[in-house]
Amino acid sequence: MSKLIMLRHGQSLWNAANRFTGWVDVPLSERGRAEATIASCKIRDAGLTVDVCFTSMLIRAMETAIVVMTECDEIRQGKIPIVQHATDDPNWHGWNKYYSDPDKEIPIFPTPALDERYYGELQGLNKAETAEKYGKEQVHIWRRSFSEKPPGGESLEDTMHRSVPFFRDRILAHLKQGDDVLIAAHGNSLRSIIMYLDELSPDEVVKLELATGVPIVYDIDAEGQVVTKQILDS
């Protein structure tokens, strides 16, 4: 049985300021780094380990993954986490090539498929002030409906159309072969994957709330089916 650990990033500086973040690359706050450390301890105390990690391309998710993978040595079983940059990225020029020993390393794969929902014209705006301008009901629809898009942005359905295929094609393959996987990502990209795993309807998924820094653990069998689910919230 493989373990799938899903973790919404810790509080970011814009979470703390109550601003729409989306694809803006805002780092964790002090509280966010502490949440990631606490999450690492919860994962360790549950006796869980990680063989491979996936994150979004955004720094708050990557920071969370790095903290989790380095704060508690037991999680990484003495191995070194190494961020795997795309081989076709011209900015790296192949300079990060190295002798690889899979028995001593844990790969961390950043991917835009796990990025947060794009909030378009709302990005950077204060949520309370936006509700005053457009009305609470309209902002609630933009934030919590399944298919409604904010101006110039993505719906949760749009996010699902990139996150779930990546999960099925890349992440599930690791789980089926017995790897324990950590996903450090965002409220909406994780909600869309949970919708797939838990077979939630659009009406059900919009009610799903994910706290920052709280690990959700699935047992996945060799066929890729969910066996059990646990939230490490205590």
As annotated, the binding site for substrate includes 8-15, 21-22, 60, 116-119, 127, 143-144, 187-188
Burial of 91 (0-12, 13-18, 19+ CB in 10 A): exposed
Token representation of residue 127: 């949520």
List residues forming the annotated binding site: 8-15, 21-22, 60, 116-119, 127, 143-144, 187-188
Q: Which of 35, 63, 71, 116 is catalytic?
A: 116
Residue listed under structure tokens 């192949």? 94
Residue 105 is a catalytic residue: no
Residue 116 is a catalytic residue: yes
Residue listed under structure tokens 């920071």? 63
Where on the phi/psi map is residue 108: left (φ > 0), alpha (ψ -120 to 50), or beta? beta
Token representation of residue 215: 């690990």
CA distance 93 to 96: 8
Annotated catalytic residues are 9, 116
